[in-house]
Amino acid sequence: MRSILLTIGMMASIMIHGQQVFGPAALQDMMAQNHDPSSDSSCHQSHCFTAGCQGLHGTNVDGNSQVGTPSWYDATSGVRSAIFVLDFAEDFPSEAQPAVQYAVDIWASSIESVIPIRMTAVWDSLSPSILAQASPLEVIHDFPGAPVANCQYAIALANQLAGEDLNPDAQDMILKFSDQVTWYHGLDGQTPSGAYDMVTVALHEMAHGLGYLGSANHNGNSGFMGFQGVPFIYDQFVELSDQSSILEFVSGTVSLGNVLESDALYWGGDQGVAANLVGRPRLFAPATWAPGASYSHLRESSYIIGNINSLMTPFLSMSESIHTPGPVSLGMMQDMGWTLPPTLCNITMVEPLVQSSCNPASNSYTQQLRVTYENAPSNGTLVVNGVSFAITSSPQTVSLVGLPSNGQLVDVEVYFSENPACSYTVAELFEAPAPCCLVLRMVEVNPQAQTITLINVGSCEGELSGYTLKSEGQTVNVGSLAEGALLAPGETTTVSWPGWPDNVEGGDLTLYDGFGSYDDYVQWLTPGNSGEFLANIYGLWETGGFLDGLPPYTYIGDPTANPAEHGLTFWEAVPYPCAFLGMEVGATSECNAQDDDFTQEFTFTLQSPPASGTSIMVQDSVLTFDGNNPWSILLTLPATGSPVDVVATVVDDPACTATFSAAMVAPESCACPTDLDGGGYVDVNDLLLFLGDYGCLSGCNADFDGDDIVNVNDLLIFLGAYGSFCN
Ligand SMILES: [Zn+2]
């Protein structure tokens, strides 16, 4: 059977103190009076048909909130799952029409229809407190194909279920908008302060027109249910806390009235429950019945402003927009019999999360992304910039590793391997870190000149400013010392560090890039400098080891070797120069009368001695160095009785020489020159030799006074010694 419920204008949306109450108050009044003969229907209607009976209060504030369109809604596409036929009354302002059309278009993508849903939008003078009005023009039960017997359906829904237009001569609903409201006609949801979003209001009222309403009513004492004794399909799903059905209560009783004011009514339909995040969707059922608001809406305080399901709550603020029916309300529509379009695979968002620093070892980094999607394929993979990930659940976090650090903005493309059309592309989603492939190593360190030579052993050019030098507790950025900011692979650069603390007598130098462990280290002349401890931990240096020599200190390993060559073994100092540091005077022999000489032991201590076999001249003797240090020698020297200056010189390194002045005193001379035959006694044989030499003018043995002539003076010396022994 078919019942004409009401004409336009009887469904009130009531505004009190700036807040909107949507709802079929008048419809409920009408239903109550129509099927409950015991009530004082005329009084009831006159009492509640006007806005004044609502008794609801709200704060007059802007909501400043926007909820966008459904993820599946594409405003540009021509394909819609439902057919709506929308007519505008002649005086409907053209500037207001796009907002209503937009709301219709969103619904046309949110449900399916086989029979066109026909509606007319009217512009009229409503009560100043009324924003808009809508309801089904008709409810109908037990039509051919009705899924549930003895149950009223909105005509638009009944048409779909019947597969034919059950009332081809009439509209299915009429939307009536007030001409006395400050409307925002825009489609973008950016509703300004003080205005109401027409798209939102149209979406809300259309839901009621499509059947989102129940039949319950209240007269301040008793509760009522059903229209002409027949409940609505909506009523079938309304439950109490204990999941019992509201239909178990008898219409016209106080107990039903109490339940309707219990603030404990829930939606029990499977699809509505499934779409709710926690438990059953909760309905608006305040302790005092609010005509037009109670029962046929979601509970305001459970779906607060900004909630994706807040369209079908009873309150709307100014500057609040909600451009989606919300999954809960759509689930409720599905429970009541509406078919929803197949939910297609959809990637709705890709967000950058954590980004790692550039790793100098690989000049790469890791980027974490969060991908939000729905209805992912049941197999295959999620592909993000060509990298496949197992599909888990949305939102899914994935990590892209080994991305090149090039400082560029990165585009992201995401799709499912089993459904490449289900994709999402966003340009320049995040920025790669700057390159860090520069890998610096020290090749020469000169604390005296305060210079450091560095080589880039990395595979690409990089910024020197990524590196720091540290010595004696002082640090300096390499980039601040270098003339150029970049260093090409394989190139070296020598930087000067004027502020380098003086550690010529011993110190260390650390090189690091701020990423992970130290990168290079060298220590000279003294152990235990400030960087040694960590350098040892990082495998760069042996504790206690240091270079012993003069600067510059030079790396002699292979800087590109793998594993890296670090440590004392791979460094070299300039050797100290060869020098005679000291000499000890050893045993001295007696004077040897034969040659009037003596033998003397000397022991030299050398710095950087020459190679074994090298010739070293000591006094007039060329000796062969035996490689020992200290080096002991035995010299034969004339017995002069005078202090001896000992001079030692490496023959082929004349700079390696030393003179030890008056190192010792030679024994007194023990010569016996008149013993010309060496017989130990000056006798006649010596006289004969003297006489044979007499008159000699050169190289003469008997020239005792050394005047290069053997004459009477020498004879007198000879005679003076005649007959004496020589020792
Ligand atoms: Zn409403």
- d(CA 21, ligand 1 centre) in Å: 7
Sign of CA dihedral 119, 50, 302, 178: positive
Domain end (from 431, 455, 489): 431
- Strand ranges (E), 447-566: 451-456, 462-463, 468-471, 474-477, 486-487, 492-496, 507-512, 520-524, 550-555
Co-location of 276 and 386 in the same domain: no
Co-location of 184 and 203 in the same domain: yes
- d(CA 292, ligand 1 centre) in Å: 7
- d(CA 293, ligand 1 centre) in Å: 7
Range of the domain at 608: 579-665
Residue 311 — φ and ψ, nearest 5°?
Answer: -60, -40
In sequence order, which residues have a C-beta less than 8 Å from that of residue 302 and are 6 or more positions away? Answer: 281, 282
Nearest CA to 573 out of 598, 550, 600 is that of: 550
**Domain assignment of residue 574, yes or no:** no
Angstrom distance (rounded) from CA 418 to CA 326: 28
- d(CA 623, ligand 1 centre) in Å: 119
- d(CA 204, ligand 1 centre) in Å: 6
- d(CA 93, ligand 1 centre) in Å: 23
Nearest CA to 214 out of 309, 139, 114 is that of: 139
Query: pLDDT under 70 in the chain at which residues?
Result: 1-60, 127-130, 344, 727
- d(CA 209, ligand 1 centre) in Å: 10
Co-location of 241 and 171 in the same domain: yes
Residue type, 29: D
Co-location of 118 and 247 in the same domain: yes
Angstrom distance (rounded) from CA 96 to CA 185: 6
Q: Is 369 exposed, middle or buried (0-12, 13-18, 19+ CB in 10 A)?
A: buried
Decide: 240 and 259 in contact? Cβ < 8 Å.
yes
- d(CA 244, ligand 1 centre) in Å: 25
Co-location of 485 and 426 in the same domain: no
Co-location of 189 and 271 in the same domain: yes
Note the Cα 513 to chain centre separation in Å: 18
Number of domains in the chain: 5
DSSP assigned state of 92: S
- How far is the CA of 421 from the CAs of 157, 350, 400, in angstroms? 33, 16, 22
- d(CA 3, ligand 1 centre) in Å: 22
Co-location of 271 and 357 in the same domain: no
CATH number for the domain spanning 657: value is 2.60.40
- d(CA 205, ligand 1 centre) in Å: 6
Co-location of 150 and 28 in the same domain: yes
Co-location of 390 and 451 in the same domain: no
- d(CA 580, ligand 1 centre) in Å: 109
- d(CA 296, ligand 1 centre) in Å: 7
- d(CA 27, ligand 1 centre) in Å: 12
Cα end-to-end span (Å), the chain: 165
- d(CA 132, ligand 1 centre) in Å: 10
**Domain assignment of residue 267, yes or no:** yes
- d(CA 207, ligand 1 centre) in Å: 8
- d(CA 54, ligand 1 centre) in Å: 14
Domain end (from 431, 457, 492): 431
- d(CA 236, ligand 1 centre) in Å: 19
Angstrom distance (rounded) from CA 405 to CA 403: 6
Angstrom distance (rounded) from CA 4 to CA 155: 10
Could you count the other beta carbons within 10 Å of the beta carbon of residue 692?
13
- d(CA 56, ligand 1 centre) in Å: 14
* pLDDT on residue 3: 35
**Domain assignment of residue 680, yes or no:** yes
- Tell me: the pLDDT tens digits for 16-69? 222 333 333 333 433 333 333 333 222 222 222 222 222 222 235 788 999 999
Note the Cα 517 to chain centre separation in Å: 19
- Tell me: the pLDDT tens digits for 81-114? 999 999 999 999 999 999 999 999 999 999 999 9
- d(CA 199, ligand 1 centre) in Å: 14
**Domain assignment of residue 327, yes or no:** yes
CATH number for the domain spanning 684: value is 1.10.1330.10
Nearest CA to 413 out of 423, 403, 422 is that of: 423
- d(CA 314, ligand 1 centre) in Å: 6
Omega before 93 within 30 of 0, i.e. cis: no
Omega before 552 within 30 of 0, i.e. cis: yes
Co-location of 379 and 470 in the same domain: no
Domain end (from 369, 397, 431): 431
